[in-house]
Amino acid sequence: MDNRSESLLEIGKIIGTHGLRGDLKIRLHSGEPDILLATEQIFLHLPSGERLTAKPVRKTVHKGQVLLRLQDFESINLVEHMIGGQVLLPEDQLPELGDDEFYWTQLKGLQVVDQERGLIGTLQDMFTTAAHDTYVVKGEYGEVLIPAVTQFILEIDLQQQVVNVDLPEGLIPQEQ
């Protein structure tokens, strides 16, 4: 991803701007905003394909999202092209995870298999609600939203690249 030897993991996405001074609105894939608030350097992968290393000069939380203002990008005109970009941090800066915890980068693209229906699709996106994370799976049933709770997620097997689930009736839109 970068010429550096360290491994970078995607922790969030730039979903918009805030104000005229170049603040970027960041939606974290999950977790607490503290990790982003503590960092002195971030890495961006922009929609254009450009990769950028930047130093935050202002970091705050606003309405559940992190606002970042980057050095040398302190105007809305300089940051609008960044919307849709990925925010990455070095893996060694991220907190250690518990046994049943994963970073979004590890999960994106995994196959989702229901114990009764078989393959549901591919894990494409994730968003966080007040109650829990929700996985967005796309496949033969269209888009399926799966609450990331132990009641539905049976096992995440990174070796096999699969998420085994047990979905209740009604969670899959009008089964074909």
* Mean pLDDT by groups of 10 residues along the chain of 176 residues: 61 92 88 78 94 94 88 95 92 71 80 93 84 88 91 91 91 67
Assign residue 31 a region (left: φ > 0; alpha: ψ between -120 and 50; beta: otherwise).
left
Six token digits for residue 90: 């070095």
Give the DSSP letter of residue 145.
E
Confidence at residue 123, expressed as pLDDT on a 0 to 100 scale: 94
**Domains, the chain:** 8-91 (2.40.30.60), 104-165 (2.30.30.240)
Instruction: Say whether pTM exceeds 0.75.
Output: no
Confidence at residue 165, expressed as pLDDT on a 0 to 100 scale: 94
Give the DSSP letter of residue 21.
T
Give the dihedral of Cα atoms 62, 17, 87, 129; nearest 10 deg. 50
Q: Which single residue is written with the structure tokens 């609600």?
A: 129
